[in-house]
């Protein structure tokens, strides 16, 4: 009997996920301990209980039911994203929430799951080939529809996560190297252009070399290269057309010291908190930056500062190693399953987690702009926690049914 359970339950994935949830509860309790907001920690515990229930349900569903639910779930998620634009509650400038008394529901968090399911369902069809532009266009449309609705809220951070799941799935589906380059090169050029002409020219040279290596026809190569250059040149014009607060976010990313008491405050305090932790940290509930509330609402997007300050390099590294184990296990599950739908879905979910971690930790360290992306399992938020635990449940489901075709 124990051998049967071991064959059906991925103990490694379950243990890593629960460790991250536990780390999140400890961090949120610490971040709210001296702020007089203990109700936030209690509420997160309730969300964790709800998430555990969602995890068990997702893990126990028959695999065929999971795949059959892809289209209905996607349609429902799109309907909710439209509805939240009409009657949703605006929080911090984004109309992204439904209010249910003291609790809130953010449809975009659950739409990630539905989009990953629908994208995987489409790509797993025998007639779909990502070398074909029509198939690529349909796959892109599945992802871009919820992205467009989320940008209308507006919530650029969450919308970016959807794109973060798209690229790994294309790579896993054997999309051409030219296609992957065409998606990455313009974004790289735009980011490089923010830092000045020299980084931009370096990216252009690298893209040119990449186009040459891919050995595509001259027309396609010229199109990719021209698009990259055009996007890089357009950055300044796009920047000039942004709203002042959006420009300030970019300026803060490039130079947080320029406005240490304003837009750059959170980033600078975050770096101080993490750096002051040293090797072993200051001790639980003894982090000065955390307990003196130097970082506003630290329990949300800057929660990574808590283990970094209170448990030092060891604590921060442990959290990152847990995430690394989660991502590696996601890829391993994608490799071992026999069903193509399951394989694509495991990659999509892993892509969502990976994009969240890279952006959030990058924000906390001042390496990436602050765009409001939470750290999975650690940041406060009921919808995010339940959705993340549901995705873990799906991965457990895929593992349990890995031998099914």
Per-residue pLDDT of 323-353, as tens digits, reads: 999 999 999 999 999 999 999 999 999 999 9
- Residue 282 has φ and ψ, to the nearest 5°, of -95, -5
In a domain, 83, yes or no: yes
pLDDT above 90: percentage of residues in the chain: 48
Given a cut of 80, is residue 384 above it in pLDDT? Answer: yes
Instruction: Check: pTM over 0.85? Answer yes or no.
Output: yes
**pLDDT attached to residue 217:** 62
In a domain, 55, yes or no: yes
Given a cut of 80, is residue 213 above it in pLDDT? Answer: no
DSSP for 207-267 reads HHHHHHHHT--HHHHHHHHHHHHHHHHHHHHHHHHS-HHHHHHHHHHH-GGGSTTTTTHHH
- Rounded to the nearest 10 degrees, the angle between the axes of helix 312-336 and helix 382-400 is 40
**63 confidence band (pLDDT: 50, 70, 90):** confident
pLDDT (tens digit per residue) in 142-183: 999 999 999 888 888 888 899 889 989 999 998 877 778 777
Residue 9 and residue 397: Cα distance in Å, rounded?
Answer: 8
In a domain, 148, yes or no: yes
> Contact 89/99 with Cβ under 8 angstroms?
yes
In a domain, 109, yes or no: yes
**3 confidence band (pLDDT: 50, 70, 90):** very low
Residue 297 and residue 283: Cα distance in Å, rounded?
Answer: 20
In a domain, 311, yes or no: yes
**pLDDT attached to residue 163:** 84
**1 confidence band (pLDDT: 50, 70, 90):** very low
Residue 175 and residue 395: Cα distance in Å, rounded?
Answer: 24
In a domain, 310, yes or no: yes
- Ramachandran area for residue 322 (φ above 0: left; ψ -120 to 50: alpha; else beta): alpha
- Work out how many domains the chain is built from and give that number: 1
Lowest mean pLDDT among 24-28, 288-292, 357-361: 288-292
pLDDT (tens digit per residue) in 172-210: 998 877 778 777 888 788 878 877 788 888 888 888 887
Domain of residue 319: give its range: 2-400
> Contact 116/348 with Cβ under 8 angstroms?
yes
* DSSP 3-state of 127: coil
Query: Quick one: 340 exposed, middle or buried, by C-beta within 10 A (0-12, 13-18, 19+)?
Result: middle
Q: Which residues contact 111 (CB under 8 A, 6 or more apart)?
A: 77, 78, 80, 81, 146, 150
In a domain, 405, yes or no: no
Residue 355 and residue 260: Cα distance in Å, rounded?
Answer: 28
In a domain, 154, yes or no: yes
> Contact 109/376 with Cβ under 8 angstroms?
no
- Would you say how long the chain is, in residues? 405
pLDDT (tens digit per residue) in 23-35: 999 999 998 887 6
Residues 111-129: b if buried by 16+ CB within 10 A, e if exposed: bbbbbbbbbbbbbbeeebe
């Amino acid at each position: 009997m124990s051998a049967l359970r071991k064959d059906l339950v991925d103990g490694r994935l379950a243990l890593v996920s629960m460790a991250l949830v536990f780390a999140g509860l400890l961090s949120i309790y610490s971040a709210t301990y001296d702020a007089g907001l203990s109700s936030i920690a209690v509420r997160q515990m309730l969300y964790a209980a709800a998430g555990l229930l969602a995890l068990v349900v997702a893990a126990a569903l028959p695999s065929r039911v999971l795949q059959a639910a892809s289209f209905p779930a996607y349609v429902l998620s799109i309907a909710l994203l439209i509805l939240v634009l009409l009657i949703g509650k605006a929080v911090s400038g984004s109309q992204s929430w439904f209010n249910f008394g003291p609790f809130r529901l953010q449809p975009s968090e659950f739409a990630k799951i539905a989009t990953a399911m629908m994208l995987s369902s489409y790509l797993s069809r025998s007639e779909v080939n990502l070398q074909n532009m029509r198939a690529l266009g349909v796959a892109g449309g599945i992802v871009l529809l919820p992205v467009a609705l989320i940008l209308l809220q507006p919530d650029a951070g969450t919308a970016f996560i959807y794109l973060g799941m798209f690229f790994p799935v294309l790579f896993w589906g054997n999309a051409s190297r030219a296609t992957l380059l065409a998606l990455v090169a313009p974004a790289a050029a735009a980011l490089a252009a923010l830092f000045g002409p020299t980084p931009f020219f370096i990216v252009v040279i690298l893209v040119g070399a990449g186009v040459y290596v891919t050995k595509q026809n001259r027309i396609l190569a010229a199109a990719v290269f021209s698009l990259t250059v055009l996007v890089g040149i357009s950055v300044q014009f796009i920047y000039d057309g942004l709203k002042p607060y959006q420009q300030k976010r970019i300026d803060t990313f490039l130079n947080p010291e320029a406005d240490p008491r304003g837009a750059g405050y959170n980033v600078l305090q975050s770096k101080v908190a993490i750096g002051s932790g040293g090797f072993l940290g200051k001790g639980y509930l003894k982090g000065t930056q955390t307990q003196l509330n130097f970082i506003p609402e630290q329990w949300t997007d800057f929660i990574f500062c808590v283990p970094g300050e209170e448990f030092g390099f060891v604590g921060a590294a442990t959290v990152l190693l847990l995430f690394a184990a989660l991502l590696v296990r996601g890829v391993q599950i994608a490799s071992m399953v026999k069903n193509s739908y399951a394989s694509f879905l495991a990659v999509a979910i892993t892509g969502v987690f990976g994009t969240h971690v890279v952006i959030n930790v990058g924000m906390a360290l001042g390496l990436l702009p602050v765009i409001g992306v939470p750290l999975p399992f650690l940041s406060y938020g009921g919808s995010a926690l339940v959705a993340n635990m549901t995705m873990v449940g799906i991965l457990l489901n895929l593992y349990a049914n890995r031998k099914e075709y």
